[in-house]
Structure 1
Amino acid sequence: MMQEWYMPIQRSKPAVKTITVTGQGTIITKPDTVIITLGVRTEHKNVHEALAENAKRANAMIHALKAIGVREENIDTASFSIYPKYDYSNGNAALIGYEVEHIFDITVKDPKSVGNIYDTAVQNGANIARHIQFRLANEQPYYQQALSLAVKNAKEKAIVIARTLGLPLHDIPIQVTEESVAPSIPRTPSSIATLAASKAVTPIQTQDIIITATVQAVFPY
């Protein structure tokens, strides 16, 4: 008796049609932490004298900063350098002395006190200013807000596209991909300046911090 075999017909599922959009969310906030980079530069014909003078001025600055409430753990050495100085006149290089530079990073938890900290440092030995960094102690809550806005922005874009084209969009995405974006942290220019003591408190204007999140979302229709 002949057997008959029946092969089931495989019917391919129709491909899901999708709209892919990019959403972006931005949060603008004020910094709660400031890192000041400043220091002490001394010069002398004798390297030991240059070192001794630098240490004296640096210690006086640190003591004064601690006296106005800056914690010792928030004062860190960023760099320490000794440079020989030469006179290149008449085509010859003659050693004429040494320059010692001690640079500190000072972390300030109260942005309003930055001007006073600058003035105190200058009045007690600091004569170099480099840059100021405005930061957030904890960026994560702000980034999460920006991420939520990015998802909403992606959904709004998809809805606009679908309505414009007359498509029956499903407003729940089948895929969402987070694209990491580093927060933009404004800084003052990284230039070296020589500081001079002033009777008025140095006005330091805090800059906004911009935190951005970006996602790519795929919506079916």
Structure 2
Amino acid sequence: MHIAKVLMLCTALILPGAALAETPRLTVTGEGTVAGRPDMATITLGVTSQGATAAEAMSANGENLARVLERLKTAGIEDRDLQTSGLSLNPNWTQNPDGAAPQIDGYVASNMLTVRVRTLDRLGAVLDQAVQDGANTLHGVGFGLSDPEPAMDEARKRAVAKAQARARLLTEAAGVTLGPIMEIREGGDAGQPPMPMYREAAMAAPVPVAEGEIETAAQVTLVYELKQP
């Protein structure tokens, strides 16, 4: 009899947990987007120089890069928005027509320069200045937001609102009652940087540039409890 009472007590303790685990739930996901004009741009330039020797190539590259930096500063770019990286030095190999082994014909030195432009109406002028003397490779122009958090917060709010609306729609259609929110998760594309959507609009500048729009996206998942009928 003592063992039977113990088993009954254990069963009584286990049942509430089992009932809780079987509580019906509804999981819905909502996506929110906010579109707006960018307020900054990032330019990636390349400065490539040649020389008969490695020292000459490096020296020429340094001089060309210095001229580019000076022009960019004259165009109003601050030191904090200029960063050099990716310095490389490689031999320039030439293939002999008679089938002999390739030979070194000088050296090529390259450097990358990343430029942040915080005033977009000057972007075209900055590009024009950069390529006038020294920068001979343009690797791309990207647009972004200097402070993306306000747009991201608004996208999160819209994502939650869409998830809530979807939950109400599904429960009404199914004839069940929506209970309290049990879990909120953020996921999907929320951690990715804003993606530009380009429009056909050119800026008035020496080099025409279309800045387009930046779309900030967030995804939120809500887990609801479904009330028993």
Question: Structure 1 length normalisation: TM-score?
Answer: 0.82
Aligned pair partner of 1:45 in 52, 55, 61:
52
- 1:22 is displaced (CA, Å) by 1.1
1:144 pairs, out of 137, 141, 153, with 153
Alignment partners' CA distance in 2, 1:58 and 1:217:
52
- Could you tell me which of 144, 162, 166 is aligned with 1:153? 162
- Residue in 1 aligned with 2:115? 106
Identity rate of aligned residues, in percent? 25
Moved more, 8-17 or 24-33: 8-17
The Cα offsets for residues 36-91 of structure 1, whole Å up to 9 and x where unpaired, read as 00021111222222222222221111111111211122111021111101112123
Structure 1: 5+ residue stretches without partners = 189-199
In structure 2, the residue matched to 1:178 is 186
User: Quick one: which amino acid aligns to residue 95 of structure 2?
Assistant: Y
In the comparison of the two structures, how many residue pairs are matched? 204
Gaps of at least 5 residues in structure 2 are: 198-204
**SS of residue in 2 equivalent to 1:138:** coil
| TM-score w.r.t. length of structure 2 | 0.79
User: Which residue of 2 is the match for residue 83 of structure 1?
Assistant: 90
* 1:215 alignment partner in structure 2: 220
Q: CA RMSD in A?
A: 2.4
Change in Cα spacing, 1:210 to 1:204, as seen in structure 2 (3 Å) is same
Structure 2 CA distance, aligned partners of 1:186 and 1:146? 14
Structure 1 residue 184 displacement after superposition:
4.5
Structure 2 Cα separation of the partners of residues 75 and 19 of structure 1: 50
Distance of 1:209 and 1:149 partners within structure 2: 16
Contact kept in structure 2, 1:35 and 1:107, CA below 8 Å: yes
Q: Report the equivalent of 1:19.
A: 26
Q: Distance in 2 between matches of 1:185 and 1:91?
A: 52
Contact 2:89 2:109 in 1 (8 A): yes
Q: Is the 8 A contact 2:187 2:218 kept in 1?
A: yes
Q: 1:187 to 1:168 in 2, by over 3 A?
A: closer
- Moved >6 Å (runs of 4+): none
The structure with the largest helix share of the pair is: 2
